[in-house]
Structure 1
Amino acid sequence: MKMKISSKPLAAAAALLLGGCMVGPDYHRPQVSVPATFRELPGWAQAEPNASGPKGAWWTGFNDPLLDELEPLVVVSNQTVAQDYANYQEALAEVKVARSGLFPTIGVTGSGTRQRSATGTTSTSASRSFGNLQTVNNSGSLEGNVSWAPDLWGSVRRTIEQNAATAQASEATLANATLSEQIALATAVIQLRTSDANIDLLTQTVKAFQHYLDVVADQDKFGTIAPSDVITARTQLESAQSSLIALGVARAQNEHAIAVLVGKNPEDLVIPHSTAMPTLPAIPVGVPSTLLQRRPDIATAERQMASENAAIGVAVAAYYPTVSLSALDGFTQSPLGGLLHVANYVWSLGGSATETLFDGGERSGEVAAAKAAYQAAVANYRGTVLTAFEDVENDLSGLRILSEQSDTLDAAVRDATHGAEIAFNEYQAGTVDYTTVATAQATQLNNQQTALNVQESRLLDAASLIGDLGGGWSDSALHDPRHPVEAASAASAASPATQATQAGQ
């Protein structure tokens, strides 16, 4: 088909487009109040953002083989991460949809018609003899059409800007979900290891209490002690045995949680008992301002703010006229024979402009709503930043205070252990009753369990601090979906297949 559309109107429209303005406010990130240092780290030296914080496989700092094995599986098999990845893909597709508004729509239409019509004769006698003659007519057309609405006021470009910021917010949400699920896995592993340590402690305690009961029972045979001593020793043993059994519930629940976090059915993952606790990692903290680049939830809030700002421009553009251009070029013929002859060539050019003169305040309401949504996004961003500072301060204060408590508890455990030994020796010498021994042993067990719980809390605070510092992530990892090559690279890097390949290397 031969097309002869005049290029002058389209060239003029393109010039208008290139010279057209974008109404609405340009985006500028609002300022937030950022302290120079964290309160829990007085005198902390200024650090370059790229030189501080955990890097890469941050979980290796805990020196736990289970974490090293399972953490890479979160980005591959965790279903929360998979859901956010799909949401990110949808957001990238929406950018493509918005970008299509910058280009003309080109189509081809072909049609054919076959119809029968009656043709009357001029002869009355012939009409009486033959009636009306019936003729069959074939007709057809083959046409190309182009329509375009130039983006004179930037409505389409603001929509692209809005959708691109939304896609980046979705990408940051994906990073935040990945980090959150990885921290959740670290938490579950720490709690599992603590359950194992508690099981070891109570297993040793049950053996010790059994020994004490045997000694008391031997003395009871000779009638040298009060009968209540045997009951006290037996009750103490049975209570420890009950607590040991109860630990199986927490251990099973943590094992099931770990399985789900790595995308497995609970029955498919069996974790052997371990006698080793994770070690406390060293975590460089840096300065508060680095959180603005390192926290994916802050990046999400900031990109949502940019998206809402662009939405104001989309709403403002509705005040201006809508201009549309159209062109048609092709052939039409009836009858069909000779359709593609020059004589049957047709074309048309057209343009239209539409402007709403009165809408009862609809457009002003849309603009007001967009501005209010932007202000809400600003408040959310600033609130997210404040919460980030709070999270880190809580983690740092927890680590500092728990460290002091751990040192004190270590001394308390040593003293309680020594005190229980002395009490039992005095009981065997007959200078104290068994109640004194039972009290000393209960104090020893309580201090040992408290020390173990404090060790667990320190490890949990360390994992939480790593998460609250961003886990080594940076907003420089965000890709601009307005650049197709970069967007494709981002989608490929975030895909589960790519993550699975990287995890296997």
Structure 2
Amino acid sequence: MTTVFAQRLLPVVAPLWITACSTPAFKQPAVSTPVAFKESQHGTAVQRAADGSTWKMGQPAEAQPRGEWWRAFADPALDQLIAQANASNQNAVAAAARVKQARAIAGIAEADRYPNVGAALGAQRAHPSALELNQAPGTPTPTTTSYSARLSASYEVDLFGRVSSNLAAARGDADVAMATYRSVLMSLQADVAQTYLRLRALDAELLTVEQTVRLREESVRVTSRRFELGDIGEFDLSRAKTELGIARAEAIGLQRQRALSEHALAVLVGQPAADFSLPANPLAETSALPVIPAGLPSALLERRPDIVGAQRAMQAANARIGVARSAMFPAFDINAGFGGVGGSFSDVFKWSSRSWLLGAAMGMPLIDGGRNQQNVVRSEAVLEEAVAAYRQSVLTAFAEVDDSLAGLRVLSDQSAAIEAALGAARRSADLAQRLYDAGRGSYLELLDAQRNLALVERNVVQLRGDRAMTTVALIRALGGGWG
């Protein structure tokens, strides 16, 4: 009869079992990957994959060593600053702690795959009342002492995939935390490099302005002497002093910017601003910048930790759909216990004092007002959100790379143009000085030529710093490495 009952029940239970224990198969969302970066059309050759195609399917490679990309700048001071930041920056420390938390949660979920076994030892001394023993009030009752020892075990049979789905979700969360940590570390390293290069660019700009100040001081000295001799009027002397004051004010403003950048760098490397100082080190014209190949567009899916994290978040959300579905089906638990109770501790371990239990329980919701169904709907919506976030991350990554490539291209063109302007400005200032010294030119013409030269020299230095920081931005956009 039992066999017949089982045969009739199987067709009913089997579809439920199959439906419940199957977490939806994760499918990588389709993302349109461009054949080449837009900026590759401006003189950069499109690189090809090994099979000759200009694109390939991006595969997450969060475990791929990204290398110490900052060493390409060949600057020992930068190497030391990034090493300090990696070790002492508190945002990085907090992100690493979140990785530990997520991995611990995954370990807790892993523990649900195994039986829980416990042991207990106890002693009890009791004196019941007469009424508890159904005796007349006032009847003397004995005082008893008992000892017990017990082993217990419980196990949830993962019939409908709740445990395995929850474990997959927890592992996905741990992967997300790890990718986030790598993203924080990448951003930290890039911020340190950019702030340091900004400091060096400010040092170079400040050097240029200080040269202008010295030139203005010399101009005031010469003009004052000529005014005392009666060669020129007071107007020229007043203009010379005005230009000197303006140049000094610009130098003071640059010193303020440098102080703020130095303080920001101190925070990044995990030091108090009061205890941190960096000696002046102007970004020289001869400072070589690394040339970074952009590679294949789909390589962003392999290198960028934020994209890897978005993909792992999708996988975790997909697994939680399985957890939500399993709540609609029975949970099957097995419990067992064995031990002994005796009047003395030695009696506890006698065979005659043994006690044991073995049980199984299956429970499932019958009426929940649609709560579990709505949990499934919510989990599916979370997956939809994660897919949208993933696609947005990919689009943002492509835009950031093209932004940096465009920035480097434009800055290169600007630098070429400003270098030509610099030669002309120097020639113009030299001619104006000669004409003024010979009495054939006005002081206003000389000031205008000198002011243009100072402006062009500052632009040259600023563009040099912008190119260095944009190079770092491209490295960040490419996921912290290339090759």
> Per the shorter chain, which TM-score range?
0.7 to 0.9
Question: Following TM superposition, by how much is the alpha carbon of 1:473 offset from its aligned partner in structure 2, in angstroms?
Answer: 8.4
CA distance in 2, matches of 1:162, 1:108: 31
Question: Following TM superposition, by how much is the alpha carbon of 1:151 offset from its aligned partner in structure 2, in angstroms?
Answer: 1.1
Partner of 1:457: 466
Partner of 2:39: 40
Question: Following TM superposition, by how much is the alpha carbon of 1:134 offset from its aligned partner in structure 2, in angstroms?
Answer: 5.0
Compared CA separation, residues 215 and 30, structure 1 to 2 (3 A): same
Partner of 1:316: 325
What SS is found at the alignment partner of 2:213? helix
Compared CA separation, residues 169 and 337, structure 1 to 2 (3 A): closer
TM-score by length of 1: 0.83
Check if 1:173 corresponds to 2:170. no
CA distance in 2, matches of 1:192, 1:316: 56
Partner of 1:305: 314
CA distance in 1, matches of 2:463, 2:346: 93
Partner of 1:269: 276
User: Could you tell me which amino acid in structure 1 is paired with residue 107 of structure 2?
Assistant: K
CA distance in 2, matches of 1:141, 1:31: 62
Return the match for 1:341 from 350, 359, 362: 350
Structure 2: tracts of 5 or more residues without a match: 1-13, 51-57, 132-137
Return the match for 2:93 from 68, 82, 85: 82
Contact 2:216 2:240 in 1 (8 A): yes
Contact 2:201 2:283 in 1 (8 A): no
What SS is found at the alignment partner of 2:151? strand
User: Could you tell me which amino acid in structure 2 is paired with residue 345 of structure 1?
Assistant: R
C-alpha deviations, 1:285-324, integer Å up to 9, x for none? 2110000010011111111111111111100111110111
What SS is found at the alignment partner of 1:328? strand
What SS is found at the alignment partner of 1:40? helix
Contact 1:195 1:251 in 2 (8 A): yes
Q: Which deviates the most, 136-145 or 64-73?
A: 136-145
Question: Following TM superposition, by how much is the alpha carbon of 1:449 offset from its aligned partner in structure 2, in angstroms?
Answer: 1.0
User: What's the Cα RMSD here?
Assistant: 2.5
TM-score by length of 2: 0.87
Contact 2:158 2:164 in 1 (8 A): yes
Contact 2:173 2:312 in 1 (8 A): yes
Contact 2:72 2:290 in 1 (8 A): yes
Compared CA separation, residues 210 and 113, structure 1 to 2 (3 A): closer
Compared CA separation, residues 245 and 338, structure 1 to 2 (3 A): closer
C-alpha deviations, 1:191-211, integer Å up to 9, x for none? 110111112111211122222
User: Could you tell me which amino acid in structure 2 is paired with residue 310 of structure 1?
Assistant: A
Check if 1:99 corresponds to 2:110. yes
What SS is found at the alignment partner of 2:143? strand
Check if 1:145 corresponds to 2:156. no
Question: Following TM superposition, by how much is the alpha carbon of 1:146 offset from its aligned partner in structure 2, in angstroms?
Answer: 1.2
Partner of 1:368: 377
Return the match for 2:124 from 108, 113, 128: 113
Compared CA separation, residues 435 and 469, structure 1 to 2 (3 A): same
Partner of 1:446: 455
Compared CA separation, residues 91 and 430, structure 1 to 2 (3 A): same
Question: Following TM superposition, by how much is the alpha carbon of 1:139 offset from its aligned partner in structure 2, in angstroms?
Answer: 2.8
Partner of 2:11: none
C-alpha deviations, 1:46-84, integer Å up to 9, x for none? 25699xx99522112223231022112222111110000
User: Could you tell me which amino acid in structure 2 is paired with residue 201 of structure 1?
Assistant: T
Question: Following TM superposition, by how much is the alpha carbon of 1:96 offset from its aligned partner in structure 2, in angstroms?
Answer: 0.6
Return the match for 1:72 from 59, 77, 83: 83
User: Could you tell me which amino acid in structure 2 is paired with residue 269 of structure 1?
Assistant: F
Return the match for 1:424 from 425, 429, 433: 433
Question: Following TM superposition, by how much is the alpha carbon of 1:227 offset from its aligned partner in structure 2, in angstroms?
Answer: 2.0
**Which residues of 2 match residues 223-302 of structure 1 at below 5 A?**
223-277=230-284, 278-302=287-311
CA distance in 1, matches of 2:130, 2:174: 65
Partner of 1:218: 225
CA distance in 1, matches of 2:482, 2:408: 22
Check if 1:209 corresponds to 2:211. no
Q: Which deviates the most, 176-185 or 256-265?
A: 256-265
Partner of 1:487: none
Question: Following TM superposition, by how much is the alpha carbon of 1:261 offset from its aligned partner in structure 2, in angstroms?
Answer: 1.1
Question: Following TM superposition, by how much is the alpha carbon of 1:225 offset from its aligned partner in structure 2, in angstroms?
Answer: 2.3
Identity of aligned residues (%): 33
Q: Which deviates the most, 303-312 or 40-49?
A: 40-49
Aligned residues: 446
Structure 1: tracts of 5 or more residues without a match: 1-15, 121-130, 475-505
Contact 1:74 1:262 in 2 (8 A): yes
User: Could you tell me which amino acid in structure 1 is paired with residue 334 of structure 2?
Assistant: L
What SS is found at the alignment partner of 1:350? strand
Contact 1:137 1:335 in 2 (8 A): no
Question: Following TM superposition, by how much is the alpha carbon of 1:216 offset from its aligned partner in structure 2, in angstroms?
Answer: 2.3
